[in-house]
Chains A and B, each alone.
Chain A
Amino acid sequence: MTVNFYGKDFSSRLLIGTALYPSPAIMQQAIRASGAEIVTVSLRRESAGGRVGNQFWDLIRELNVAVLPNTAGCRTVQEAVTTAELARELFGTPWIKLEVIGDDETLQPDPLGLVEAAGILMKDGFEVFPYCTEDLTVAQRLRDLGCQVIMPWAAPIGSARGITNREALKLMRARLPDVTLVVDAGLGAPSHAAEAMELGYDAVLLNTAVAKAADPVAMAKAFRLAVDAGRAGYEAGLMGPRDFASPSTPVVGTPFWHAVS
């Protein structure tokens, strides 16, 4: 089954970043191995006479994937809104991964700035992918603004900790059944991605866990398999946990049952 982002269907439920790879060639190979159909990119100042942006953009275009630009590094509503407008001009897409950072050490999203910026951008015709914490009320406000995609973190960006607040992510899934929910940031291992998918999340977005692996191409494939396995598990319907043992082998007919010594 496909996953929908603002009216467009995709087969892959893994979104992947383009940063921190050992080389441009490995970036391309890893993205291909991941099966991702959507990659995140950023925009930065170009020095006079520079061709850095063009060289990177040529590599991305060769991959034939959808591009999700971000507002990484923005700390105010104004910075984020202007960066989003630049991204729309530069990449020709209304999609924007909206980041408004509130704390430098944890890169924790600023929920107040995020909601304000999302409101401005949604009214201006953007299709916003807000990067948020696991706070349910913030997610509900984003949904009320028209966001069809919401992306709570698992843990701080690049931390590789995995899902640190599982109950809150479960609650968000249950309370926002019609929103495309993506676990974004903080995943370190394929098992973390599988866990997010088993919780019913529609997709995961990651970068560092693949780019900083000893073998990024192999790790990209591992995440691809984990995302598929986790989603398949969710669709198959997981049984709930129990407090006590329940034998799987039939009890009736057990040899020596009720035997008296």
Chain B
Amino acid sequence: MHVIVNGRETTVAARDIAGLIAEMDYEFTQLAIAVNQRVVPRGRWAETALNAGDKIEIITPRQGG
């Protein structure tokens, strides 16, 4: 399935957010996720299905002012 992860078109086998995290080696990272500009809480990653064309943002802490 083609999805867009952090602005890049990506082909994944995963069918849900939890699967995507594992497939793309994000598993041990402190992160938050939005799909199509909606935040998906960590507790709902496994039950949130992916759809072709979804825009997924995978976000972690950074320096800021």
Contacts and interface: CB of A to CB of B under 8 A. Distances in A.
Interface of A: 17-21, 27, 40-54, 56-57, 60, 69-70, 72, 78, 82, 85-91, 157-158, 185, 207-208
A46 B58 contact: yes
B32 interface: yes
Given A20-B65, A42-B61, 6 more contacts: A40-B65, A42-B64, A42-B65, A43-B61, A44-B59, A57-B60
A49 B64 contact: no
20 contacts: A17-B63, A42-B62, A43-B32, A45-B7, A45-B58, A46-B26, A46-B29, A48-B26, A49-B26, A51-B28, A52-B62, A53-B61, A54-B60, A82-B39, A88-B39, A89-B42, A91-B61, A185-B65, A207-B65, A208-B65
A24 B50 CA distance: 37
B interface bracket (residues with beta carbon within 8 Å of A) = 20 to 34
Contacts of A51: 28-29
Contacts of A91: 61
B6 interface: yes
B13 interface: no
A69 B64 contact: yes
Nearest to A56: B61
Contacts of A50: 26, 29, 60
Interface of B: 5-7, 24-26, 28-34, 37-39, 41-42, 57-65
A57 B30 contact: yes
Contacts of A56: 60-63
A48 B25 contact: yes
B37 A43 contact: no
Find the residue from B29, B57, B60 having the highest chain A CB count within 10 A. B60
A45 B59 contact: yes
A20 B61 contact: no
B59 A17 contact: no
Nearest to A91: B61
A204 B63 CA distance: 18
Nearest to B63: A19
